[in-house]
Structures are given as C-alpha cells and as structure tokens.
C-alpha cells in the first residue's frame, strides 16, 4: 500500500510540473476544476459579506474593461483554458485593490477607481490580477502550503485532507484584501506584471498607462516599506519591470483596435 501511495504521489507530482506563460518552472498539483470551485465559493462568500457598489456608471466601466481583457485571453494564451465569461463585482471598499480568482471571478474595490484614473490604468490592474490566474499562482501557492497533504487529498488517500479557509485565502492572493498577511510573492507579482502588460496591450489598452498608474500609487503611498522587507516589489522596481517589457507591449498595442471603454 505504501509503495502504491508513493508511486501515485510521484505521478501526480510529475504531472503537476510545467511552465508558466513566461517560461518559469512551477509545480501546481491541484486540479484546475477544484481551484475553480474554491475560487467561486470564496467569491460568493465575499459577495454576501462585503458591500457591493450599485452605481451603473462604475459597474459599466468595470465590466467593459474586464470584458475587453477577457476577450484578448484566447488570442494571447489559448492554452490557458480560461472561462469565456468572468463575473465582475465592484466592492465598496476604500482600499485601492483588485483581484481575480480561478473560475472566472473579478473583484474590484471602489478605492482603486481613485487611483486608476483612466480605463487604461484600470486595465493595468485587472490585467495584472488576471495574470495571476493565467500563471496559476494560487494553485502554486496552495501546493506549496499544503505540500504532500495536497497530493493525498487530490488522490483521495487522506481522511483529514481539509483545506483551511485561511490557507485558501492566502493561496488565492486575498490576504491583503481580507486583512490576512502573505499576499502573492514578489516573483509572482513581477510575473503577473509582465503577463498583464501584454494582455492589456492585446486588448487595446495603452500599456504606457501602466506606468502612469504606478506613479499614482507612489503619490498615494509615500510611506512604503523598504523593498527587502516587503513581499511586493517596490513601486520603482515595478515600473522598471514594466519598462523592460514596454517595447514588445507597445508593438502589440499598435497592431490592434483600441478598447472603447468610457471613463467615469
């Protein structure tokens, strides 16, 4: 029995080794269908426990930007196997933040609209968050947190293989959203920046507005901790990463129709 347990775990481990869209090796053991179910359940809990913005103009902007980005997914990453429709909700929360979850769910805080001053800037944030989903960062984080327990849970060999809500929240990148520590790692953030930049350009949003967005963030947050003490890249480092990838993104942007989302 033990031998077959090891063989099964090893087979699952090997099947979970692949590459992210940027070519980085990763191990993501959890089946995507399970991640989607977890994401949907978490999103519905948030929808019922957090106030939701009902202003039609705000909802229209959030949905327009999200639809344009989702529409560009298939052209850029057809192998990503993402949903064709994503549910978009704007939460009444002053924290300038957003998130995307497996299963096709996008949450945007109303406070973000004070920082993302144009549809293109908003696209930079939402594209970044969708980048986390495309790269399966939540899956990777959950695999790392649960370790062999995740393997046993997936293949049905653990009687107590329950995923705690805190572990799931951290793995899905909702830590800062819900006041729990451990957002995505700096490596994941940089990767999502690069993916999001390409995605927004493909969707017809000006990628140069991503840099304008982070200048806005710098003005908002003059008291940011030292980079080495933060899981998120420093704003200036983030801008440098975007500038490195800007030439390719700008070339893509010049070849596609412009997104037609009206500002507030």
Active-site pick, 129, 140, 189, 191: 129
What pLDDT shows up at residue 159?
42
**Residue 26 bridge partners (DSSP):** 18
Say how far apart CA 182 and CA 171 lie, in whole Å.
Answer: 9
Mean pLDDT of 221-226: 54
The order of strands in the sheet holding 105-109 is 87-91, 105-109, 98-101
- Residue 251 and residue 198 in contact, taking contact as beta carbons nearer than 8 Å: no
- Residue 113 and residue 58 in contact, taking contact as beta carbons nearer than 8 Å: yes
| 118 secondary structure, DSSP code | S
- Residue 26 and residue 140 in contact, taking contact as beta carbons nearer than 8 Å: yes
Mean pLDDT of 101-108: 93
State the average pLDDT for the chain.
79
**Residue 25 bridge partners (DSSP):** 19
% helix, strand, coil for the chain, step of 5: 60, 10, 35
> Within its chain, how far is the Cα of 19 from the centroid?
17
What pLDDT shows up at residue 154?
52
Say how far apart CA 25 and CA 193 lie, in whole Å.
Answer: 17
> Looking at the chain, which runs of residues are DSSP E strands?
17-19, 25-27, 87-91, 98-101, 105-109
pLDDT digits (tens, 9 = 90+) for 157-171: 444 445 555 555 555
Note if 212 is an active site residue: no
Say how far apart CA 215 and CA 117 lie, in whole Å.
Answer: 12
Percent of the chain with pLDDT over 90: 45
pLDDT digits (tens, 9 = 90+) for 190-212: 899 999 999 999 999 999 999 99
Which carries the bigger pLDDT value, residue 123 or residue 223? 123
pTM, full prediction: 0.80
Say how far apart CA 167 and CA 141 lie, in whole Å.
Answer: 9
Q: 228 pLDDT band (50/70/90 cuts)?
A: very low
What pLDDT shows up at residue 33?
84
CA distances from 262 to 58, 122, 200, 259 (A): 10, 12, 16, 9
Structure-token match 């790692």, residue found: 185
The answer to which of 5-19, 68-82, 137-151, 244-258 has the lowest mean pLDDT is 5-19
Mean pLDDT of 109-136: 94
User: Is the per-residue pLDDT at 249 higher than 70?
Assistant: yes
What pLDDT shows up at residue 256?
97
CA distances from 168 to 4, 66, 79, 116 (A): 28, 24, 25, 28
User: Is the per-residue pLDDT at 246 higher than 90?
Assistant: yes
**Residue 18 bridge partners (DSSP):** 26
User: Is the per-residue pLDDT at 10 higher than 50?
Assistant: no
């Amino acid at each position: 029995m033990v031998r077959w347990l090891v063989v099964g775990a090893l087979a699952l481990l090997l099947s979970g080794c692949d590459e992210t869209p940027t070519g980085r090796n990763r191990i993501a053991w959890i089946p995507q269908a399970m991640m989607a179910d977890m994401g949907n359940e978490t999103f519905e809990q948030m929808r019922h426990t957090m106030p939701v913005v009902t202003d039609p103009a705000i909802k229209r902007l959030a949905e327009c930007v999200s639809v344009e980005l989702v529409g560009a997914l298939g052209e850029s990453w057809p192998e990503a196997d993402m949903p064709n429709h994503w549910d978009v909700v704007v939460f009444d929360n002053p924290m300038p933040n957003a998130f995307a979850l497996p299963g096709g769910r996008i949450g945007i805080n109303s406070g973000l609209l004070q920082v993302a001053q144009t549809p293109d800037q908003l696209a930079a944030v939402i594209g970044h968050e969708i980048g986390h989903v495309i790269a399966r960062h939540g899956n990777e984080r959950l695999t790392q947190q649960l370790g062999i327990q995740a393997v046993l849970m997936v293949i049905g060999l653990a009687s107590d293989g329950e995923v705690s809500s805190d572990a799931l929240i951290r793995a899905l990148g909702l830590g800062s959203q819900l006041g729990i520590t451990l957002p995505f790692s700096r490596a994941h953030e940089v990767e999502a920046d690069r993916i999001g930049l390409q995605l927004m350009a493909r969707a017809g949003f000006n990628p140069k507005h991503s840099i304008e967005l982070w200048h806005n963030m710098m003005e908002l947050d003059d008291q940011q901790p030292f980079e080495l003490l933060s899981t998120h890249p420093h704003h200036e480092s983030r801008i440098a990463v975007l500038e490195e990838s800007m030439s390719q993104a700008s070339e893509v942007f010049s070849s596609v129709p412009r997104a037609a989302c009206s500002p507030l």
